Structure 1
């Protein structure tokens, strides 16, 4: 029980720290950088469909080359809002995960196995993926023992099938993505307009609770299966 709480809190605290970092940078850009945050936000609104697609392309590329996705997710909330930002991030994760999976399975599998074959986390992933692939995929996405973009390549080197991998990689990231984009949206409203969006505050709180209970539910299910 104690370990489950630690895992849940670690995810939420990690996300909160990234939101705070982006908040400091956003405040600096807006108040000490001659309103650059507002300029960027206004440019995005005026650019139509170009800016979201450019952002998603950069996000996909970042995932393929294993840049941490948390920062992208918060920035999406700052620049595009919680609803649009969540949709963009989930689409980017789906595309980036798919590309990484195929690269990891058909191009870099030998290198991945050579590098991680004896890594404890990888060995555990490979063992559990044979017995409980869906549950372990879910847990690895909800509880990022290794960074999301790195895990894509590790999963590709196991025997897990592509479709379950892709579905769980996106679906299980919805609460965390909502939490981070809502946090980014709150930052944007606070820094640019000096207001608090209580609806977004509530949405971020609900997402954090979902993360907490999902972690506990999936871990309990795996522990029950492995002890049976």
Structure 2
């Protein structure tokens, strides 16, 4: 019978391969965190540098130039607008509300809402994927191996994944960045994240775009748009109604599970 034991190569030492593999693993782990680190870094820099530029005053000062460019190159302005909007959302820069209102100002209610929703959804996907590749992958793996209450919490979220994602979008008090980050950290499906994001932000997008439609008249009066309109009873009421509808399946499941447990 031949000897099946492998003879070590000359110059090799036991444990060398293990050490190198650990080093490679740590490097790949660090690389996974780079997208999220870049998002946070740019967000911090942008909050300081751009806070005085992405404002309604800037829009007012460049109003005529933007309208002229729109009339000459509509598709070019659409691409420029959506690109800027995506960057604002991905890096959580100041000016998201200004961008949404600008969509209505430049493109009208229907087209402006569509451009706002698509841009915001693409930007949200950027944050989601950046977090998923970094902290999300690590936390999801830990949840899988943790067991106990942590695993129960994750399973509960997955059972109500659609409802929870819609609630995160519909509830105005939830910051947009948080609604992008949390789903990635608990491992929700990308497809569900995308369509619930697009559907959930439509009500708010319509409100902000509608404000933008009448922005020209507001500028003519020398005023700034009133973004507090979102909190008016006739506006916030229907949005809260949608929140209740999204929460109903969760409540029904909870009641049924309690009855079964009795």
Q: Shorter-chain TM-score category? A: 0.5 to 0.7
Maintained 8 Å contact 1:112/1:154: no
User: Post-superposition shift, 1:190?
Assistant: 4.4
Match among 88, 92, 109 for residue 66 of structure 1? 92
Secondary structure of 1:107's aligned partner: helix
Identify which of structures 1 and 2 has the higher relative contact order when contacts are C-alpha pairs closer than 8 Å and 6+ apart.
Answer: 1
Counterpart in 2 of 1:76?
103
Maintained 8 Å contact 2:86/2:119: yes
Unaligned runs of 5+ in 2: 1-54, 141-152, 223-228, 257-262
User: Post-superposition shift, 1:189?
Assistant: 4.2
Matched, 1:140 2:200: no
For the aligned residue pairs, the C-alpha RMSD in angstroms reads 3.4
The alignment's TM-score, normalised by the length of structure 1, stands at 0.66
CA distance in 2, matches of 1:95, 1:29: 23
CA distance in 2, matches of 1:62, 1:111: 26
1:64-98 CA-partner distances (Å, limit 9, x unpaired):
11236333212211222222211111111222122
User: Relative to structure 1, is the Cα distance of residues 220 and 56 closer, same or farther in structure 2, using a 3 angstrom cutoff?
Assistant: same
Maintained 8 Å contact 1:104/1:112: no
Match among 123, 126, 143 for residue 99 of structure 1? 126
Structure showing greater Rg: 2
Maintained 8 Å contact 1:138/1:169: yes
Structure 1: 4+ residue segments shifted above 6 A: 110-113, 204-207
Counterpart in 1 of 2:253?
225
User: Relative to structure 1, is the Cα distance of residues 58 and 193 closer, same or farther in structure 2, using a 3 angstrom cutoff?
Assistant: same
Secondary structure of 1:58's aligned partner: helix
The alignment's TM-score, normalised by the length of structure 2, stands at 0.58
Unaligned runs of 5+ in 1: 1-23, 114-124, 195-200
User: Post-superposition shift, 1:139?
Assistant: 0.5
Maintained 8 Å contact 2:109/2:209: yes
